[in-house]
């Protein structure tokens, strides 16, 4: 399977969930903290960092991993 690369040029700021609660029936994790529902998108890494510093938000930067592209063809299944 080949994954697409569309819309991968954005940087996202997510807030960590404080005091996560586990639903005993379904096993889902939830929280009464509404910040955990917010995801802010930025067009560049520098904008995201400057916003976090300006608002005094502790942040952890996770760099995207380099993708190794292996071109595949449906016909390769039958040529071996």
Tally Cβ neighbours within 10 Å of residue 25. 5
Task: Tell the residue number behind the tokens 């960590």, with chain if given.
Answer: 16
For all residues of the chain together, what is the average pLDDT?
84
pLDDT for the residue numbered 40? 93
Q: DSSP string of 15-67?
A: PPPSS-EE-TTT--EE-S-GGGG-EEEESSHHHHHHHHHHTT------PPPPP
Mean pLDDT of the 8-18 span: 85
Task: Tell the residue number behind the tokens 């929280």, with chain if given.
Answer: 31
Q: Is the pTM of this model over 0.85?
A: no
Measured CA to CA in angstroms, residue 22 lies from 13, 29, 35, 37, 60 at distances of 24, 5, 17, 16, 25
pLDDT value at 31 more than 60: yes
Model confidence at 64, in pLDDT bands (50, 70, 90)?
confident
């Amino acid at each position: 399977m080949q994954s697409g690369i569309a819309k991968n040029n954005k940087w996202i700021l997510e807030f960590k969930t404080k005091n996560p609660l586990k639903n005993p029936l379904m096993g889902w994790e939830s929280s009464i903290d509404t910040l955990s529902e917010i995801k802010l998108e930025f067009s560049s890494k520098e904008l995201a960092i400057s916003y976090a510093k300006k608002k005094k938000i502790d942040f952890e930067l996770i760099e995207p991993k380099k993708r190794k592209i292996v071109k595949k063809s449906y016909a390769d299944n039958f040529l071996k």
